[in-house]
Structure 1
Amino acid sequence: MADDDSEKTHDPTQKKLDDAHERGDVAKSQEVNTWFLLAGATLVLSTFNGSVGGGLQTPLKNLLQNSWMMRTDGPGLLMLAKSLCMSILSTMGMPILFLVIAALAGNLVQHRLVFSTEGLVPKFSKLSPMEGAKRVFGKQALANFLKGLFKLVLLGAVMCAVLWPERFRLDALIHIDPSAILGITTSLTLQLMGSVVAMLAFVAIADFFFQYRTWYEKLKMSLQEVKEEYKQSEGDPHIKGKIKQLRQQNMKKRMMAAVPKASVIITNPTHYAVALSYERGMTAPICVAKGVDNIALKIREVAGKHDIPIVENVPLARALYATVEIDEEIPGEHYHAVAEVIGYVMGLKRGLSGRTP
């Protein structure tokens, strides 16, 4: 059965994941952000409730006690507002910083930092009734509804479990001194918030994995998309094949042009051919051409036209073809065998020159 390219069954490539991140399209659960903010608020309330209360009490108490002494003209009110703002900021600065860190942490645990303005660009597709219906009745909307219903039931159960045993104590609050009410309500609030944070941790984890899976499935690719991305990143295979073919042709032409300068051709005798060049003073012979089958035949033909000696040595021809590249010196382990061949060839040349009248 042929593959259906329209089906997105292939995992997204790293390039597609990076492109999605640059667009601001990342896996994100709002429940994780909510959990971090709620956990941060609980930590702030448990840690700074005394210092914040005392820090706010002093300037506000002075404001009420000394209100008759304060100037009410423009500069006086401006100075009073500035003094109150400085007092509130100095008291609330650290708790606010904790909440900001919690908000940032809620995003950073899900994905790396994102800087994208694409989300600000208006998209007319969002005005489509069909797209709106998909958002209202789609899988994401159903998941959000079930999640909201579960949270409502869960929070109700937590509140009942925490507050029900304290119902008689809460009824008695109307009869006790007002200064003691704050301590009791703070204790119950911290107990309630701690229970909610513990319960919502499971909701946040489950929602994150759901959101990640949904996001990952959305980015899956069809076979055609994988092919197109490969062409864009690695180049068109047809073009790369053509370039490789041209390189091979150019290399073949260069080798054939170098064969007439060779000192000897070592052959298999029919399947392999290696052309070596050597002159006095060189440290080792250099391979100027090599090939198998048709290229080997062409090397022998060119060598025959230019009276280049051809020596048959099956193991040496195979070994040189496998271990030496074009324009490289032969490996040291073949020095002795090649030296014998070149010595034999030079001896032939001397013998021929000696018989020349």
Structure 2
Amino acid sequence: MAADDSAEKTEQPTAKKLQDAAEKGQIARSKDLGTAFVLIGSACAILMFGKMLAMGILTIGQRMLRLDQKDMFEVNSMFTAWGEVGKELIPPMAGIFAVILAAAFIGNTLLGGFNFSMQAAAPKASKMSVFKGFKRMFGLQAFVELLKSFLKVIVVVGIAYLLLKFFFDDIMSLSLMSEPNNIESALYFLAWIFLGLCSSVSVIALVDAPYQKWNHIKQLKMSLQEIKDEHKNSEGSPEIKQRIRRTQMEMSMKRMMQEVPKADVIVTNPTHYAIALKYDQGKFKAPVVVAKGVDEVAMHIRKIANEHKIPVLESPALARSIFHTTKVDHPIPEQLFAAVAQVLAYVYQLKMHKKGKGTRPKALAKDLPIPDDYRH
């Protein structure tokens, strides 16, 4: 039962799920919203540039129908006429196309944003499946589209009837008007009727856009197991991450043990802690911790030190203090300089004594100068 519950797609899609869907071309889109923007944009474009277009058409008609004898015998008269046609028609047509293009872009990107997907454009064998084709034809989405089509017809026919009834007397009076007023008025009525019809489509779009958004999210909903799997794939399997950390620790430990033979002294607890210190006056301003560890690691450090005849000194307080305050490959704190200096001085004197160049040094003081804040 728990497995069945976890398989239910009850969770909202993650950001990665939405991004993967967008890369495949699966985004919320409302065809009715795009259509409404294009139609309303077209009506607005006609209202904005319709008068200029009508006057241009009238000017061209007058020019073409009023030919004199000079125009008939002029070789370049046709090219001149075409130039006048372009001069009159190109500006209003360019304005109309620009408005429609902007409306089409806004309408088709308003809901799901701009998205270009090569995966969506690639041919798919599943689209050629007869079974899936019938499923799309008689599925829930097809039924919703059929209902929207009926609703469109009812709304558009109803709005068209109301608009024709409202403008009927004005339309009939156009026959009594002279040009160019009749052309301008006819275009004016046509634009407003067209705008009213287009606005009726926007009613469908206002219902369809939220539905498409809801349906898109519904299709991408995830189960709890899918969310866990996605997190595992994106963040990495815990077992793999643990293995990587273990490998990194092993490599770090190996490098650290390779530095132990280069140390000047090993400070111990005596059994639980071991700190390998190196001081190179030409390279470092202070002694550096080249290796440190507790328990088994500490024992291994002492073993390597004995093999390479590195001095091992017992100073529990100093060993604990350095272990808790200093990282490997970092210099010791300034507050521990005095204590470490005594250790290094003892080691130097001991080396000189073994070479027969000095007396044996006194035993290292048990109470080294360690500040209370650095005692652990």
* TM superposition score normalised by structure 2: 0.74
Structure 1 position 176 matched with structure 2 position 213: no
The CA deviation at 1:283 is 0.7
1:275 counterpart letter in structure 2:
A
Give the corresponding residue for 1:25: 26
Rounded to whole Å, the distance in 1 between the matches of 2:255 and 2:350 is 28
Q: Cα gap change, 1:317/1:14 in structure 2, threshold over 3 Å: closer, same or farther?
A: farther
Structure 1 position 132 matched with structure 2 position 133: yes
Match of 2:314 among 311, 314, 339: 311
User: What root-mean-square deviation, in Å, do the aligned CA atoms of Structure 1 and Structure 2 show?
Assistant: 4.0
Rounded to whole Å, the distance in 1 between the matches of 2:190 and 2:115 is 35
* 1:190-245: CA deviation from partner (whole Å, max 9, x where unpaired): 44445455555454344233323333443445667667766766666555544433
Rounded to whole Å, the distance in 1 between the matches of 2:319 and 2:202 is 72
Percent identity between matched residues is 33
3-state SS in 1 of match to 2:359: helix
Q: Cα gap change, 1:355/1:336 in structure 2, threshold over 3 Å: closer, same or farther?
A: closer
Q: Cα gap change, 1:174/1:47 in structure 2, threshold over 3 Å: closer, same or farther?
A: closer
Rounded to whole Å, the distance in 1 between the matches of 2:340 and 2:156 is 88
Structure 1 position 88 matched with structure 2 position 126: no
Q: Cα gap change, 1:310/1:189 in structure 2, threshold over 3 Å: closer, same or farther?
A: farther
* 1:301-329: CA deviation from partner (whole Å, max 9, x where unpaired): 33345353233334x54553344332222
Give the corresponding residue for 2:67: 66
Q: For structure 1, which runs of at least 5 residues remain unmatched after alignment?
A: none
Q: Which stretch has the larger CA shift, 133-142 or 52-61?
A: 133-142
3-state SS in 2 of match to 1:354: coil
Q: For structure 2, which runs of at least 5 residues remain unmatched after alignment?
A: 362-376
Rounded to whole Å, the distance in 2 between the matches of 1:38 and 1:347 is 97
* 1:99-140: CA deviation from partner (whole Å, max 9, x where unpaired): 122222223434454444544543332232331232123232
Question: Which runs of structure 2 are paired with 1:272-283 in the superposition (5 Å)?
Answer: 272-281=273-282, 282-283=284-285
* 1:278-302: CA deviation from partner (whole Å, max 9, x where unpaired): 2445311111112233223322333
Structure 1 position 287 matched with structure 2 position 289: yes
Structure 1 position 354 matched with structure 2 position 359: yes
1:288 counterpart letter in structure 2:
V
Rounded to whole Å, the distance in 2 between the matches of 1:320 and 1:152 is 85
* 1:67-114: CA deviation from partner (whole Å, max 9, x where unpaired): 998779x99878866764564334412211221222222234344544
1:66 counterpart letter in structure 2:
L
Rounded to whole Å, the distance in 1 between the matches of 2:336 and 2:5 is 55
3-state SS in 1 of match to 2:28: coil
Rounded to whole Å, the distance in 1 between the matches of 2:147 and 2:272 is 74
Question: Which runs of structure 2 are paired with 1:161-310 in the superposition (5 Å)?
Answer: 161-167=162-168, 169=169, 172-173=172-173, 176-177=176-177, 179=179, 181-196=182-197, 200-201=201-202, 203-220=204-221, 238-268=239-269, 270-281=271-282, 282-305=284-307, 306-310=309-313
* TM superposition score normalised by structure 1: 0.77
Q: Cα gap change, 1:231/1:103 in structure 2, threshold over 3 Å: closer, same or farther?
A: same
3-state SS in 2 of match to 1:214: helix
3-state SS in 1 of match to 2:291: strand
Question: Which runs of structure 2 are paired with 1:41-80 in the superposition (5 Å)?
Answer: 41-66=42-67
| Count of residues paired in the alignment | 353
Rounded to whole Å, the distance in 2 between the matches of 1:55 and 1:183 is 11
